[in-house]
Amino acid sequence: MNRIVSTIVLIFALPGAVAAQQQTPPQPQATPMYPAPPPQAAPTVQQGAPTTGLTSPLPAGQAKVDKTDIASDVEAQLFIDARKIVWGRYSKIKGAKSGDVAVTRQGNVWTIKGRIDSVAPGTEGDWASIDGVVERISAGVIQIRGEVAFRVAKVEKGTPCKVAGTLTFRRSGKSQVWRLAEGDNPCDGTREAFDLVYEKPAEKKPVPTQPKRG
């Protein structure tokens, strides 16, 4: 009798056990190459900023810059004469040329805008640009709120890749170059070495007075 009851209980319990086995996925097994069991799924990663468009809005919540904070008059006098852009990605290729940049004072606010178009053989059509407002000028440091973009044909099929927000340019010692600290290309990780270069204004020599003829 007990054997009959046990058989009946087993028959009723069997479907539930089968269902439980179907619901529980098989556990990955460890291997000699992977001592710990591999994860069920790849870890999620934070995606980078979209590269479509060149002038997307800056992060929300930042107040408009209504005055450039000048903590170093010496640095400001140098920076107002930043005239050139040098792009490290192509600067050592024969035939490379610098680009143009302009620092402008508009009342209490300083702005900056510039672009370099690569003309080195094999890089035609690639360019880099800067557009922003100068937030602060201190000894050896320029902070700009804006964006720097890089267009490289072989990166992201030529879609401009950019860094945006508060950007820091640093200069050391007697150097006449401010280099972008956030200069890693967000699309391929290349250190772009994006530089703003001081160019001493040409001195205007006085024209000698011609003697009057009698």
DSSP, res 47: P
The confidence score (pLDDT) of residue 5 equals: 45
The confidence score (pLDDT) of residue 11 equals: 47
The confidence score (pLDDT) of residue 64 equals: 83
Q: Measuring CA to CA, how many Å separate 108 from each of 29, 101, 112, 133, 136?
A: 66, 20, 14, 11, 12
Beta carbons within 10 angstroms of residue 214's beta carbon: 3
Task: Please work out, in degrees rounded to the nearest 5, the angle formed at the alpha carbon of residue 14 by the alpha carbons of 8 and 16.
Answer: 125
Domain chopping of the chain, boundaries:
76-198
Supply the pTM of this predicted model. Answer: 0.66
Kindly give the confidence (pLDDT) of every residue in the chain, 214 residues in length, as a single tens digit, with 9 standing for 90 and above.
555 445 444 444 455 554 444 555 555 555 554 455 555 555 454 444 444 444 444 555 567 888 999 999 999 999 999 999 999 999 999 989 999 999 999 999 999 999 999 998 889 999 999 999 999 999 999 999 999 999 999 999 999 999 999 999 999 999 999 999 998 999 999 999 999 999 887 666 666 776 666 5
The confidence score (pLDDT) of residue 23 equals: 54
The confidence score (pLDDT) of residue 39 equals: 56
Rounded distance, CA 148 to CA 154, Å? 18
The confidence score (pLDDT) of residue 128 equals: 96
Rounded distance, CA 13 to CA 137, Å? 78
Q: What is the largest CA-CA distance in the chain?
A: 149
